[in-house]
Amino acid sequence: MRFTFLLGILIVSGGMLFSQTNDIPGISDDSAIIANWPNQKIKVQPKKFLSPLPEKVKENSGLIFWKGKVWTHNDSGGNPEIYGIDTSTGQIFQTIRLLNAKNEDWEDITQDEMYIYIGDVGNNRGTRSDLKIYKIPKSEIPVHGDAEIVDWEQIDFKYSDQQVFDKRMNKHDFDCESISCFGDSIYLFTKNWANQKTRVYALPKNPGSYMVLPVQTFDAGGLITASAFSPSGDQLALLGYIDFESFMWLFWDFDGFDFFSGKSLRVNFPELIFVQTEGLCFTDNRQLLISCEESAEFPTLFEVNSDELKLIARQRLGDYFSNEIVLSGMPPEVSNRLKVDILQIPEPEFSFEFRNTRWTKLLEGGDVKKEDQQKLRITIKTKDLENGWYFLKVSSGEHSIIKKVRVKH
């Protein structure tokens, strides 16, 4: 077999094979991450839903959808207020002010059935030790007219894994612009300036002071600025940007609180360049609104539909999950070595690639199957790889198949 060696990974030839994907068409369980594939990026231009937003919210930084209206707030230095916006007129119909509160750096807003939560969690310099979330009873917000809220509560927290508080403007991993309610907790998704990942912290909803531990990490491939769960709780969306271009991750079919365990899809917004997308919310179980503050675009609400995004993904991936290729022996998890047999291919010649979640190619190779060969074996040494998800892509003729495997030592 012919192999190209990358990053010191060894591959050994042997037999041949392929794994049946009976749930195709669609995004199969083996296509957990759709990100940065060569010439296969999911690209969408969100529709404009409402533009421009009122001048008063030109620095909007978070979104929720409640009682048929959009609610938002401004970020650092703004008034300690949230604003209800009528989606039919685009006008602010209500202003709710938190008395004796301060907008140090309000970055996101979330809700459950009884309360609204505002995250004063921005930490660009990495020096803050006074991170907090304001908890507002929905019962205190009148149906009509402005109001001043006195009976709000406060949740204070610190990151247990942050030991250094020296000023490192946009060069650290303890910033956060995203909070979302799920179950009995508030989940924070960090904005990691240094490694472009996001860490997940679970924070109790009860007032108090907490030290929070990270419960998950995801290689977002960019800077996360907002998050939102669907009303049914079966979808999670993360909004972000990289190199001044906006993107969104969509996760579904996850297992409980393991948000990154199911299917996921990365959607790039290549036309949103220098558009500072900051807010995200579901209006129902399919429709999402994305907001931007004043930047290369007027303050605007955009909309995308999660079902439509998944459909685009299925159409784009149609050639990548072919029943003409059959693999065997693909385990869900490995430690030191991955062994896969290729049993069936449509053409004698085939190639394969081994990639990480950033779709960086770690290894590639290929060969020609002889007529008398029943199978070919691909063996990939994984003992020196970091724990996480990896992908094996096998191609033959115009057909391809992609399988995922978790490396865990």
The pLDDT of residue 202: 97
**One domain, residues 46 and 15:** no
- For 218, counting Cβ atoms within 10 Å of its Cβ (0-12 exposed, 13-18 middle, 19+ buried), the class is buried
The pLDDT of residue 175: 95
- Rg of the chain over Cα atoms, rounded to whole angstroms, equals 24
The pLDDT of residue 315: 60
The pLDDT of residue 262: 85
The pLDDT of residue 321: 53
Residue 172 within a domain:
yes
Could you tell me if 401 and 345 are in contact, meaning their C-beta atoms sit under 8 angstroms apart? no
Pull the structure tokens for residue 163.
């030991």
The pLDDT of residue 46: 93
Kindly list the averaged pLDDT for each block of 10 residues, start to end, along the chain of length 409.
Answer: 38 28 30 38 87 95 96 94 95 97 97 98 93 98 96 97 87 94 97 95 97 95 97 97 94 92 89 93 97 94 93 60 81 93 92 83 90 89 92 85 87
Structural domains counted in the chain? 2
**One domain, residues 398 and 332:** yes
The pLDDT of residue 322: 62
DSSP secondary structure letter of residue 57: G
**One domain, residues 331 and 214:** no
**One domain, residues 126 and 8:** no
Residue 157 within a domain:
yes
The model's pTM is 0.72
* DSSP string for 192-209: -TTT--EEEEEEESSSEE
The vertex-123 CA angle with 55 and 95, nearest 5°, equals 30
The pLDDT of residue 94: 97
In whole angstroms, what is the distance from residue 68 CA to residue 155 CA?
A: 27
The pLDDT of residue 404: 82
In whole angstroms, what is the distance from residue 194 CA to residue 74 CA?
A: 25
The pLDDT of residue 174: 94
**One domain, residues 67 and 145:** yes
Pull the structure tokens for residue 262.
């199911």
The pLDDT of residue 74: 96
